[in-house]
């Protein structure tokens, strides 16, 4: 006996018996995809990327892709709903989705510790929307790169890449196992670390001095962990005369990057 859900499903086919439901997700739904026009077009234009595995697009997006990037061997022109069936529920794909190998992470020694250079380090910031927004701000303000903790950071794909609006391919990123050791290595390479903490005595403006600087941000709930904070050269707070105690971590990153840009200028 079939269930109510089975009886009411919108089947194709009719007389010869039920076939696959129209709205059923495909078996290969994955969060490894990139979706959204900015994320996909940035990935297609990034020569550091390996060749894409699949590229799904609506008819209009197919024309845009071919006009901008030429013919793509893996391009499939599909209806918007069919594209959505390959993606997590709720993904706003804007008519395009790309499955491509992840970018290779940078080593810490690849970042040039030149005067005015700024890196961001994220201490257990795990929300994909926040990390995506931080990458976008880092690219906008000319940061040298972003350092993530390998086991406590989301993959640079899916919703994160959509929120980053192309910044995943515009800003270098590194993944490290231990942030404290990474700060020690960066110090040997000429970087100075400033950790953001709401209880710090100095303001960020007072702590920045134009030297190559790693801005270290903690998660919204816990802030910087003790060992990470102890490996910073200084702790500083964002001056907030309005009286609020803290900002969303992505907003704090944008403010910190703006302050660093002013110091650099």
For residue range 3-33, what is the model confidence (pLDDT) as tens digits? Answer: 433 333 333 333 333 333 333 344 345 558 9
Cβ pair 33, 99 in contact under 8 A: yes
**Same domain? 58 vs 137:** no
Residue 6 within a domain: no
Residue 202 has pLDDT above 50, yes or no: yes
Residue 26 within a domain: yes
Angle made by CA atoms 200, 204, 205, in degrees to the nearest 5: 135
- Total structural domains within the chain: 2
Share of the chain above pLDDT 70, in %: 87
Quote the domain boundaries for residue 85. 22-99
**Same domain? 60 vs 151:** no
pLDDT score of 21: 33
Q: Which helix (H) or strand (E) holds 249?
A: helix 249-264
**Same domain? 58 vs 136:** no
Residue 118 within a domain: yes
Indicate the residue among 99, 132, 160 that finishes a domain: 99
Instruction: Give 39-76 as a DSSP string.
Output: HHHHHHT-TTSPPPSEEEE-HHHHHHHHHHH---TTEE
């Amino acid at each position: 006996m079939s269930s109510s859900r089975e009886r009411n499903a919108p089947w194709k086919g009719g007389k010869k018996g039920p076939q696959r439901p129209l709205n059923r997700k495909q078996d290969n739904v994955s969060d490894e995809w990139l979706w959204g026009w900015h994320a996909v077009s940035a990935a297609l234009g990034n020569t550091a990327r390996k060749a894409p595995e699949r590229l799904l697009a609506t008819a209009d997006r197919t024309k845009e892709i071919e006009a901008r990037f030429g013919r793509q061997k893996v391009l499939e022109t599909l209806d918007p709903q069919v594209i959505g069936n390959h993606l997590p529920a709720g993904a706003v794909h804007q008519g395009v989705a790309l499955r491509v190998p992840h970018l290779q992470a940078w080593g810490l020694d690849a970042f040039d510790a030149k005067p005015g250079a700024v890196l961001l380090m994220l201490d257990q910031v795990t929300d994909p929307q926040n990390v995506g927004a931080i990458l976008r701000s880092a690219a906008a303000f000319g940061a040298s790169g972003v350092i993530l903790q390998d086991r406590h950071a989301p993959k640079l794909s899916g919703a994160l890449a959509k929120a980053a609006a192309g910044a995943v391919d515009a800003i270098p990123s590194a993944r490290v196992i231990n942030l404290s050791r990474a700060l020690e290595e960066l110090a040997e390479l000429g970087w100075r670390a400033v950790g953001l903490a709401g209880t710090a005595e100095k303001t960020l403006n007072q702590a920045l001095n134009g030297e190559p600087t790693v801005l270290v941000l903690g998660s919204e709930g816990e802030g910087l962990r003790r060992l990470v904070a102890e490996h910073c050269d200084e702790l500083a707070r964002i001056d907030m005369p309005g009286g609020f105690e803290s900002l969303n971590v992505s907003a704090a990153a944008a403010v910190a990057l703006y302050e660093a840009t002013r110091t650099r200028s």
